[in-house]
A = this chain, B = another copy of it.
Amino acid sequence: MHDLFYSRGVAVVGASSNPAKPGYKIIENMVTQGYSYGIFPVNPRLESVLGLRCYRSVLDIDDNVDLVVFVVPAPEVLRIVEEELSARKRTRGDVKGVVVIGGGFKEMGEEGAAKELHMKGELRSLGIRLIGPNCQGLINTETGLNTTFDMNIKPRRGGVSVITQSGALGNGILRMAATRGHFGIDKFISFGNMGDVDAAEAIDYLSGLQTTRVIAAYIEDVPDGRAFYESMRRAAGRKPVVILKPGRTRLGAQAALSHTGALAGEDLIWDAAIRQAGALRAYTLKEFYDAVRVLEKLPPLRGPNIAVLTVVGGPGTLCVDRIHSSRCLRMARLSDVSKERLRRILAPVANVGRPEGYVDMTGSVTEELHYEALKIVLEDGGVDGVIFLEEPPTYLSERWASEVVRAYSEQDPARAKPVVATVVAGDAVYDHIRILEEGGIPVFEHPEAAVDAIDKAAEYHLRTSCGGKRAAGGDLRHQIHAISRRSARASRAGG
């Protein structure tokens, strides 16, 4: 895995001079994102792509090529692997992995599955690892490696590594994170049909990386349930692992979908397995994405006590409501000293402590009070985290946001408490949101989403017995093994 993510030299077979084609986009991505090593377009009909010399064949490339990306049809991939890669491997011995972007393999039924099996066999005998087919491949923001296409977005470096069985879903996550400044990316792997490198191997690799602080995985099925479980367990001991797993099996398997009873049971086993491994399961894309945001951006929550500091009554009420019905959180008890300090600085109309842990500064608040009130709440020993809510007037939004960030960032890093914000304002105060996000405070549009995200983070940080769903009974290992066998059968059936 390391050799693939840190490939020195990438050949793109099926390079194109048409900006609408993946064979152009991939090269463009790596050029604009400053890939540190050689980029080698391969297409016998072109002289150059984006100013780079274009090669007739991978055999003609004199420099080191660790990775070959295929953006040609399936039969062409097979031919090139058999004729050219094997020759290159014999003579230069440098190619360590291939990314096969296109489909036309297992997902197409029996004939495609045979092609895929054949390709896998050839590559294995050459000692070359396979990503895909039918995928977006790899990103490593450390080296600028990026085999995805259609993005037109440069992911910022950061602590999230994404593993995805759906290239489109992974792409969507990259786009949301990049355009909203929600989090940065360390590694990204979209492996489509998982012909060779699979989720378990990817999780194992990422769990050992210092630069990966959170592992986010979208999984539809796994070839080996036990190996996947063990990889989750090992990784979750070191860092948060968030899993988005659709509740039912792959859409392709129509027959399976009609057996919802069996599938619902299987889903409970997934539930139990993820929980027992110490990983976090998300049930919707929003829950998945929001949990990842909070886990990457914020210091750990050290206890369940949340203070709500608000400028707005209605959203504040909805927030307290959601905390009451959350699994892991409760309203903090502010000390009498803190309450007294808050009452002294805030306007008489402000509400300090009704209910406990709730402070409504009301619309009469000033920018100085933003700073001072958040300081007081963060310094209270009974508070483990803060949810801050406001809807600033346009002309005050930047100044208010800066004061919130100032109070947040003046915390002692070793004992810092997380703060999340809620701003119900659409795109009306974009700069306010940007300042908070850049200052390390995740901003949510709805109060309930802020609570849900920090609740999910609490599930990890508090190693929690928050009272979630109970694990399914029975021998878990046995059940996981059964899933794995069923999955394998479905795969063989072309599902």
Closest partner residue, chain B, to A331 (CB atom): B257
Q: Which residues of chain B are near A315, meaning CB under 8 Å?
A: 166, 168-169, 172, 285
Q: Is A89 an interface residue (CB 8 A)?
A: no
Do A426 and B318 touch (CB < 8 A)? no
Chain B min CB distance to A352 (Å): 11
Q: Complex formed: what's the CA distance from A107 to B20 in Å?
A: 61
A321 within 8 A of partner (CB): yes
Instruction: Using A166-B312, A260-B324 as known contacts, say yes or no to A176 and B426 having CB atoms under 8 A apart.
Output: yes
Contact with B along A418-441 (1 / 0, CB 8 A): 000000111111000000000000
Q: Does A246 contact B (CB under 8 A)?
A: yes
A355 within 8 A of B: yes
Residues 285-322 of A contacting B (Cβ, < 8 Å): 285-286, 289, 311-318, 320-322
The 9 A-B pairs with the shortest beta carbon distances in the complex, nearest first, are A166-B314, A172-B424, A169-B314, A168-B312, A176-B426, A179-B426, A150-B393, A179-B427, A175-B428
A286–B179 CB distance below 8 A: no
- Taking CB atoms, residues of chain B closer than 8 Å to A349 are 103-104, 107-108
Task: Kindly list 19 other residue pairs between chains A and B, CB separation below 8 angstroms, not including A168-B311, A248-B324, A286-B446.
Answer: A20-B396, A152-B395, A168-B312, A169-B315, A169-B424, A171-B424, A172-B312, A172-B424, A175-B425, A179-B425, A218-B314, A244-B318, A246-B321, A248-B320, A251-B354, A251-B355, A251-B360, A252-B354, A254-B353
Q: Is A403 an interface residue (CB 8 A)?
A: no
Q: Does A64 contact B (CB under 8 A)?
A: no
A369-397 CB mask vs B (1 if < 8 Å, else 0) is 00000000000000000000001011110
Residue in contact with A177 in the complex, picked from B248, B311, B426, CB distance below 8 Å: B426
The residues of B that contact A289 with a CB separation of less than 8 Å are: 446
| Complex alpha-carbon distance, A320 and B426, angstroms | 28
Distance A175 CA – B423 CA, assembled complex (angstroms)? 11
A351 to B134, CA, bound (A): 14
In whole Å, how far is A457's beta carbon from the nearest beta carbon of chain B?
A: 19
Q: Which residues of chain B have C-beta atoms less than 8 A from A424's C-beta?
A: 168-169, 171-173, 175-176, 285
Given the known inter-chain contacts A313-B166, A424-B169, A426-B177, please indicate yes or no for A447 contacting B107, CB distance below 8 A. Answer: no
CB contacts under 8 Å to B, within A344-367, are: 348-349, 351, 353-356, 358, 360, 362-363
* Interface check A165, CB cutoff 8 A: yes
CA distance A166 to B425 in the complex (A): 14
- Chain A positions within 8 Å of B, measured between CB atoms, are 19-20, 25, 103-104, 107-108, 149-150, 152-153, 164-173, 175-180, 218, 220, 244, 246-248, 250-254, 257, 260, 284-286, 289, 311-318, 320-322, 324-325, 348-349, 351, 353-356, 358, 360, 362-363, 391, 393-396, 424-429, 445-449
Cβ contact of A246, chosen from B165, B169, B317, B396, cutoff 8 A: B317
15 A–B pairs (Cβ distance < 8 Å), ordered by A:
A20-B393, A108-B348, A149-B393, A150-B393, A152-B395, A168-B315, A168-B363, A169-B313, A175-B391, A178-B426, A179-B428, A218-B314, A220-B317, A247-B324, A251-B360
Copy number in the complex reads 2
The answer on a CB contact under 8 Å between A285 and B355 is: no
Q: How far is the CB of A353 from chain B (nearest CB, A)?
A: 8
CB neighbours of A426 from chain B (8 A) = 175-180
Asked if residues B355 and A391 are in contact (CB atoms below 8 Å), the reply is: no
Q: Which residues of B contact A247 (CB under 8 A)?
A: 321, 324-325
Are A448 and B179 in contact (CB-based, < 8 A)? no
Nearest chain-B residue to A258 (Cβ)? B355
Closest to A390 in B: B168
Complex Cα gap A311–B180 (Å):
23
| In the complex, residue of chain B having the shortest beta-carbon distance to the beta carbon of A451 | B284
**A428 engages B153 (CB within 8 Å):** yes
Chain B residue at minimal CB-CB distance from A112: B349
- Residues on B with beta carbons closer than 8 Å to the beta carbon of A362: 103
Q: What B residues does A447 contact at CB under 8 A?
A: 285
With the chains together, A311 CA to B104 CA distance in Å? 16
Residue among A167, A173, A244, A355 with max Cβ neighbours from chain B (10 Å): A355
Which B residues are in CB contact (< 8 Å) with A250? Answer: 317
Asked if B20 and A395 sit within 8 Å, CB to CB, the answer is yes
